[in-house]
Amino acid sequence: MKSNRTITVIVIGAVLIAIGVVVGLNARWLPVQASAESASVDSLFNFMLAIATVVFLIVEGGIIYSIVRFRRRAGDDADGPPDHGNTALEVTWTAIPAVIVFVLTIYSYKVFVDIQSPQDNETVIGVTGQQFQWTFTYPYESFADLTPEQNEMAKANMISNELHVPKGRPVRVEIQSRDVMHGFYIPEFRIKQDAIPGHITTTRFTPSAVGEYAVVCSELCGEGHAKMSTINKVFVEEPDKYDAWVTDLRTKARQAATDPRRPERGKQLMVQKYPCGSCHTLTDDGLTGTVGPSLNGIATRAANNVDNRLTNSGVKTAEEYIRTSIINPGAYLVPGYQNLMPKNFGDPAIMPEDDREAIVNYLLTQK
């Protein structure tokens, strides 16, 4: 009798574990794997899923079995028998999960350390989170014929709102935030890392599948948070295509260094570096935000003092008005809009003067 029951338990246990393994090996719930790291993250996930399947079947199966087997029969009004615990059972249901948690801790720590260990020849890309878009900063090599100041300026312009990464080369990203916490998340890479104001956090990945994926923000960061996950894309490219793209960026950075305040540069900055498009519409620049007023025709509205905007903000010219709108948004609020524009564009560490003047010069062309 007793050995019969032992055999039944062993058989049921073996069947449940077999089901767990089949589910764990066959689950295809996650997006495509586009980085070398995604395979180990997915194996860990599927291992946990296999264990969870077995636990789920034991618990739910036990409940269903008990409901049927011990249900109240017709005419039975007695209380159930009193029961005062079962030490062997309690030790078992504490010991087994303890072992499972211990194994998972070791396994996931190993996966984490493997992903985070430095590799040779890492391409280092800067990631900056801000309300409400990401900006990426690429490695810079100085131009011999530029002055040190011009080289500094060109270096500061090695930026884009597109994340281009070379297939098969290890990448290290150094992540920072200009305002609040954001979460740098690329589901296809299985990479997620917080962007924390005042800190630089790093993470690593080696892209493995050519393609175009979304860069998501995983931290609710304000009004335009949802937009943040639609604006920026990561492009995994063959290494020579990636190199050509960076060289092209370097050429543009050089132009910026020699004539930093040209309107065309302001046009680029409003898309590539600053999050203006998450709040403003500006057709000439392809911006479609709706949190703030449209900037179409801003130069004409300012020059004509529409709604007394010059008078009320205490300035005389359209140029001064646009500059003031950027560095001190509260000075005058466009009717119908709240004081939601970032307050830190007046800080040269956030928006260098040359950037600001390029944007002012560009907006002055929006008649």
Query: Does residue 129 interact with ligand HEC by CB under 6 A?
Result: no
Q: Given the complex with ligand HEC, which of 16 and 291 has the nearer CB atom?
A: 291
Close Cβ partners of 274 (under 8 Å, ≥ 6 residues apart): 130, 345, 351, 355, 359
What does the alpha-carbon distance between residue 285 and residue 311 come to, in Å, rounded to a whole number?
28
CA distances from 26 to 35, 42, 59, 211, 269 (A): 20, 11, 22, 24, 46
Q: Quote the CA–CA distance of 199 and 267 in Å, as a whole number.
A: 30
First to last CA, the chain: 93
> Is residue 293 at the binding interface for ligand HEC, with CB under 6 A as the rule?
yes
In terms of CB distance, is 202 or 328 closer to ligand HEC? 328
Part of the chain binding Cu ion (CB under 5 A), chosen from 68-76, 211-219, 245-253, 334-342? 211-219
Q: Which of 155, 164, 182, 190 binds Cu ion (CB under 5 A)?
A: 182
x-marked contacts with ligand HEC along 247-276 as a string, rule CB under 6 A: -----------------------x---xxx
Alpha carbon dihedral 100, 105, 107, 111, in 10-degree steps, equals 150
218 in contact with ligand HEC (CB under 6 A): no
Query: Residues 257, 327: contact at Cβ < 8 Å?
Result: no
Are the beta carbons of 12 and 20 closer than 8 angstroms? no
Of 309, 354, 357, 358, the one binding ligand HEC by CB under 6 A: 309
Among 221, 246, 299, 351, binds Cu ion (CB under 5 A): 221
**The one segment of 1-9, 64-72, 155-163, 294-302 that binds ligand HEC by CB under 6 A:** 294-302
CB neighbours (10 Å) of residue 280?
Answer: 21
- Residue linked to tokens 């409940």: 63
**Which residue in the set 359, 361, 364, 366 belongs to the binding site for ligand HEC (CB under 6 A)?**
359
List interacting residues with Cu ion (CB under 5 A). 182, 217, 221, 228
List interacting residues with ligand HEC (CB under 6 A). 131, 270, 274-276, 278-280, 291-293, 295, 298, 301, 309, 322, 325-326, 329, 333-334, 337-342, 345, 359, 363
